[in-house]
Amino acid sequence: MEKVVRFLQKEIDKDVTPGAVIRVRHRGRIVLDEALGYNCLEPGKTNMSSRHVFDMASLTKVMVTLPAMLQLFASGALYLHDKVSTFLPGFGSNGKDQITVKQLLTHSSGLVAHRPYFESRMGKEEVLASIHQETLAYQPDSAVVYSDLGFIILMELIEQLTGQRIDEFAKEHIFQPLSIKDTGYLPVFQHDRYAPTEFAAHLEGHKYGVVHDDNTEYMGGVSGHAGLFSTMDDVAVFTQMLENNGEYEGKRIIDRHWLELSRQNFTPFSNESRGIGWQLKGNDASPAGDLMSAGAYGHTGFTGTSFYIDPERELTVMLLTNRVYFGRHSHMIRLRPRLHNLIVTQLPEEEENACG
């Protein structure tokens, strides 16, 4: 895997990111575990390590909102084709009464991708009220439009059905059962443990432990689409649970039937293949690259985070960076597929049958 390390170091040298932590697991064995560069470029910088705390950005969608939803499906609280308005009547206004839970999870609901609520300094309740008044931007189940709005509504749905804030639910039902302690919302760590993100004028410095996503920041730091912080060591545990069909050290976190279903393609009408919550490799351009198997799935985060799992190759690639440290322009979109391609080419050949 020396080529992979050299590749990442070149990207760091080109200021794509101040540093990176990468871990690759193949057939249950760690074949690459490296931390490169620094957490920042300011005085007091530290060498990047697996203990550094990263803003996970949209990995929140698959590390919090998705497992919470799969747990609710498994409990019988709802099913994929339930109308969201059944539980959130206000959301059904302006032609949205037929939107289903499945459509929110697959980004095919008709909702727009983004609204800059932070410009009006909207808090959580104001944001939810605004989304309730949205009209459809396109016909549901006709296209994939990656929408933060949909996952904000899924947060509201989770909170309505469980009676808990989503951060409290995630801690009790996902992170504590996994025995991971450095993962959660609104983190409080020593300053040098953070991988800071973008410079923020209102903070007069880079964001250390303050969520990068503008809307989430004004919503109080907690949302269904962003807000989670984590470390490589914790992400490694989470992905092991996924590899093991929802179980970790004898504890069932996600029902295997629902996890298996979530990895299927629910958007055959689009070139962008989407599972329940997951980005699927599909046949079009993908962060997974060109060489991962067709069944590969995972997700990315705008701050420079990602993980992808290829069940056929028994391969998991976890990459944490703070690429927005230099601003929102980045070459991360090109970095991920090239990195994944390179990793696949560096895997050992299939072992020969010992019996000849």
Using an 8 Å Cβ cutoff, are 31 and 160 in contact? no
The answer to whether position 291 is within a domain reads yes
Total structural domains in the chain? 1
Report the distance separating Cα 68 and Cα 74, nearest Å: 10
Report the distance separating Cα 189 and Cα 25, nearest Å: 28
The answer to whether position 354 is within a domain reads no
CATH code for the domain of 104 = 3.40.710.10
| pLDDT score at 332 | 81
| pLDDT score at 349 | 75
Nearest to 132 by CA among 169, 166, 165, 99: 99
**How would you write the pLDDT of the chain (356 residues) with one tens digit per residue?**
999 999 999 999 999 999 999 999 999 999 999 999 999 999 989 999 999 999 999 999 999 999 999 999 999 999 999 999 999 999 999 999 999 999 999 999 999 999 999 999 999 999 999 999 999 999 999 999 999 999 999 999 999 999 999 999 999 999 999 999 999 999 999 999 999 999 999 999 999 999 999 999 999 999 999 999 999 999 999 999 999 999 999 999 999 999 999 999 999 999 999 999 999 998 888 999 999 999 999 999 999 999 999 999 999 999 999 999 999 886 788 999 999 999 999 998 754 333 43
The answer to whether position 334 is within a domain reads yes
Write a three-state SS string for the chain. Answer: CHHHHHHHHHHHHCCCCCEEEEEEEECCEEEEEEEEEECCCCCCCCECCCCCEEECHHHHHHHHHHHHHHHHHHHCCCCCCCEHHHHCHHHHCCCCCCCEHHHHHCCCCCCCCCCCHHHHCCCHHHHHHHHHCCCCCCCCCCCCCCCHHHHHHHHHHHHHHHCCCHHHHHHHHHHCCCCCCCCECCCCCCHHHECCCCEEHHHCEECCCCCCCHHHHHCCCCCCCCCCEECHHHHHHHHHHHHCCCEECCEECCCHHHHHHHCCCCCCCCCCCECCCCEECCCCCCCCCCCCCCCCEEEEECCCEEEEEECCCCEEEEEEECHHHHCCCCCHHHHHHHHHHHHHHHCCCCCCCCCC
Report the distance separating Cα 65 and Cα 257, nearest Å: 18
The answer to whether position 353 is within a domain reads no
Nearest to 128 by CA among 146, 101, 107, 155: 155
Tokens of residue 33, six digits: 């575990």
The answer to whether position 351 is within a domain reads no
Range of the domain at 340: 2-346
pTM of the model: 0.96
The answer to whether position 278 is within a domain reads yes
The answer to whether position 281 is within a domain reads yes
The answer to whether position 352 is within a domain reads no
| pLDDT score at 350 | 58
